[in-house]
Structure 1
Amino acid sequence: MYRRLLKPALFHLDAEDAHHLTLRALGMASRVPGWTAPVRALTAPADPRLTQTLWGHAYPSPLGLAAGLDKNGEAVPAFCALGFGFVEVGTVTPLAQPGNERPRLFRLPPDRALINRMGFNNAGADALHARLAALGTRPVPVWVNIGRNKATPNEEATSDYLRLVRALGDVADAFVVNVSSPNTPGLRALQAAGDLAALVRAVVDEVEEGRVRTLNRPPVLVKLAPDLHPADFEASVGAVLDAGAHGLIVSNTTLSRGGLTHPSREQAGGLSGRPLTERSTALVRGAYRLTRGRVPVVGVGGVFTAEDAYAKIRAGASLVEVYTALIYEGPGLPARLGRGLSRLLERDGFASVTEAVGVDAR
């Protein structure tokens, strides 16, 4: 139904208008009590092979929703109902901000891709806290992706990240430090090893101090860009580990435009989707080898099929996230990927997804 009816109708709308319309509908559905649990029982049937325990939390599936789709945590119950094993909200900044001027989101259908230059448009930390606190018990972990306000200079960026940890520490199951979006001027400079180590160390320390107040210790992950020079990527991974981070997300959107055919390829912003599939998988493999499996790696970029997700897992990803494919494939995607992963694990004789992590990177 999505491919034949809903998708054609949505693709006739401006990309951001379609996004807001869909999110509003999912948000309204999320406020209707009683339906999400039985629907999730259909979309995410229990398969012990897909279950992992990471950072003290159970992950019923390695498939998660990437940040950017639900910036303000408006539709978490609905996304849980689709069958995701975890949901990442944000990017959130301390203060609400409108983001960049529209148009700022572009579809590239022949390339199965999106370009966005949203600019961390969000309602701010207080609004996100209120929504997440109102959820109560959640069927899956909910991560919070954090970034600095556009008006905050890099020299003061750490204070923004710490404000977010203090404001959201009691409702986040993990924090994702976003220093790799290409749409906030100067943000990617924070990926330089020295600056990154200081920032991550400060965030980790704040989480440790906050545990005394909230009895919660969310792990800290760092999201890196796919456009770093190999030597810089290695240095950044090393800095993240040395600073005490608990995981890596590889990778964010790219500024590369190689191989694109759609006229919107000339638009400024970060590219996501199918063109990033092979590049992000190679970076997952590189990160897994650099970390030697000491912390979990999360693979994101161009995951459209179970085979795409499985390739990232075999390259070293403990978890895999999707975003762009959900726009093109529709709400049945998480369940379809989950079923496909189960078949692939059975085919290759793995009793659990954990056994498959990194087998192609050793």
Structure 2
Amino acid sequence: MELIRESVLKCLDNFSFDDDKLISELNCIIEEGGSEAYQVIFSVLTHFDLTSDKAEDYWKQIISHRNSISKALGRNINLRTAICDYFCSISKDMTNPIVIEIRVFEEALDSLKYDSLTGLYTRRTFDDMFLRETDRATRYGLELSVLFFDLDDFKKINDTFGHLAGDETLKHVAGIVMGEIRTIDIAVRYGGEEIVVVLPETGKVNALVLGERIRKKVEETKHEYEGQNISVTISGGLATFPIDATDTESLIKNADIAVYRAKEEGKNNIIVFSENKRHYMRVDFITDIQVRVVDSKDDNEVLEATSKDMSTGGILFENNYPIDMNTKVRLRIPTGIAEKPLLVAGTVVRVEKFSSSQYDIGISFLEIDNAVKNELSKCIRKCIGGEKE
């Protein structure tokens, strides 16, 4: 409908002094755009929100009404005059109309539709669009994902460089977001330094890839204000319909919860919402690892095992025999990124037998420093295609 709207506005601008030509061109738009074009024409000219059937009926009656008045007066009547007279005298849907230049009206609408600083949608516009997309996903059984971004340490940027620098930084990040998303995606300045993106027909993995691409570009793109370099990073949360929630309010809430987890995990990362304790998406990760049981009888014994999947919160591997629950272990994990394997401490949280001599052993990583977290995150992004070596 946005393309039809642009065509109608262009038509009004080009043929403002020739109403016969204007009506002819509008009818061509109707032929190409179908019943939706009637709705758009009345939305632009009257700001009425009509059904397509009602709009079509009004259009035909107004054209007939214009012809009747023109014949009675012996001169052509302006289309807008005919519309105003029809709705005031015949249909009586207007009681106190005002006259306003359409460009001024459109600029006023844009000021309500778009955030003046970032150019993203306003919260009010977003709420309506988000509801429509969720309804469409429900109706057709589609996936829909929400990425919730929050600038890291934004108050520090304002305090250090000034609020104008903070504004420019927010515009900088918004520009990166807009440059990475599709035309069908919906980006909004949700509040303060928060940006939310709705991704129609997008599952969790593809949304995470996009989120990581945006996060990485924000981190790596140079940003200056009045000759001063400003380091900018963002944290993000991801929730997907219908896996994580089936209504707009819960989707936003869960994506927001994931953002808080991202902040807790050291910032500058994307967290996938989960009801359980797994804050990160698990990905297939098959490689040979080494496991050493802490405080075992033979402290130097190293088990050779094959991992199956991994997240930045833990790893699952196969073993020929079980390991007791809550056992502390130390792992050597080659990531294929760093020259040396990662050394990570963990505890056994899952033991499951899946054949006569094979067990799945699940490890939850214990507290790890930011360097190891970053290395694990890079490995995860590589596995899902979000980052190359």
> What is the TM-score with the length of structure 2 in the denominator?
0.23
Higher relative contact order (CA 8 A, sep 6+): 1
Higher strand share: 2
Q: Which has the larger radius of gyration?
A: 2
> What is the TM-score with the length of structure 1 in the denominator?
0.24
